[in-house]
Structure 1
Amino acid sequence: MVIDATFWVAISFVIFIGGLVYLKIPQKINEILNKLILDIKNEINESEKLRSEAKILLDNTQSKLDTAQADGQEILEQAKKDGDYLVIEMNDKFHKSSEIKKKLAENKIIQMKDAALKEIKDVSIKIAVESVKKIISTSVNKSKLDGLFDKNLEETKVALKKINS
């Protein structure tokens, strides 16, 4: 058997491997690798848990957003309906108010017309009576005057009764 450098390399390799086994280096490496694998699994599980919680939060937030949008749309539609109703109601109130004001104005015009006609009649009667008095006092004597006055007074009363009727 020839002992050469390859033999000594093989012997040193076996001694090295034996030393590693004696010092339990493969077990320690295995423990470290298992611990790293376990840590990575825990991190992956934690990430999965966080991802599922984030998805649940996203779904909840999305449903709340959808609900808020639907509520907002309902509020807008109700506001439009209320606005239309108020416009119609205000329009009706305006027309009713203008009709009432128109009737009041017409009544006031009629009252003013009646008052003006009455005033004209009263003034006309006064002027006529004054004119008759002047004419009679200047042209007729006292006895004729009394008779004419009584006659005209009766005629005036009859005329006034006809006018007032």
Structure 2
Amino acid sequence: MRAILTASLALAASPAFAAGETFFSLTNTDFVVLLAFLLFIGVLIYFKVPGMLTKMLDDRASGIRSELDEARALREEAQSLLASYERKQKEVQEQADRIVENARAEANRAAEQAKHDISASVDRRMAAAEEQIANAEASAIREVRDQAITVAVAAAREVIAKQMTAQDANRLIDESIAEADRKLH
């Protein structure tokens, strides 16, 4: 209502009144435009258009406010998810580092064990080779000794056969039998 009163006072101080013409005539276009404008404003007020506009603006403002609140909530949720994923990524990285470190330590232990096993295997093979060499040497010595004995026996047989008489042979046989008898009894 205050707006209507202000508008009518503003019109009363218009240049049309200053010129002295009659303002309140239907032939005056300014007056007709004023009446149409006031009628238009009245119709708007009658149908409560300002209230509807205010309600629509309030609804839009509350909708924007709820969208902003929802966006804030989504942003906070996204930030919490990001922080959670960063923590998980850090934990996974730490776990991967531990796995790599354990694998390195295990590889070092396996390498040391392999060195130890190879050394033990070489030692065993060296011992086996030395034993084979010793056996071969002993076998060669036995063969040489057996051969030497065979040669010595053959040489002794020849020498004894040449120097021995039948009487000496009988005496040696008797002594050998007596010796065997003594040792057996």
Bucket of the pairwise TM-score, normalised by the shorter protein: 0.7 to 0.9
The worse-fitting range, judged by mean Cα deviation, of 66-75 and 100-109 is 100-109
Are residue 115 (structure 1) and residue 128 (structure 2) matched?
no
1:91 alignment counterpart = 115
Give the SS at the match of 1:80: helix
1:129 alignment counterpart = 153
Q: Identity over the aligned pairs, expressed in percent? A: 25
Q: Deviations over 1:77-121 (max 9, x none)?
A: 121111112111211121122112212221221122122212221
TM-score (norm 2): 0.73
CA, structure 1 residues 146+123, in 2 after alignment: closer, same or farther (shift >3 Å)?
farther
2:10 alignment counterpart = none
Structure 1 runs not aligned, ≥5 long: 154-165
Letter in 1 for 2:34: A
Distance 1:26 1:108 in 2: 118
Q: Deviations over 1:12-71 (max 9, x none)?
A: 111111111111111111111111111111111111111111111111001101111111
Letter in 1 for 2:52: K
Higher Cα Rg, which structure: 2
Contact 1:20 1:26 in 2 (8 A): yes
Distance 1:5 1:88 in 2: 112
1:159 alignment counterpart = none
TM-score (norm 1): 0.80
1:49 alignment counterpart = 73
- From 6, 13, 17, the counterpart of 2:41: 17
- Deviation, structure 1 residue 144: 3.8
- From 79, 99, 102, the counterpart of 2:103: 79
CA, structure 1 residues 149+113, in 2 after alignment: closer, same or farther (shift >3 Å)?
farther
Letter in 1 for 2:133: I
1:160 alignment counterpart = none
The worse-fitting range, judged by mean Cα deviation, of 10-19 and 135-144 is 135-144
- From 40, 49, 55, the counterpart of 1:31: 55
Q: What is the RMSD of the two structures over their aligned residues, measured on CA atoms? A: 2.3
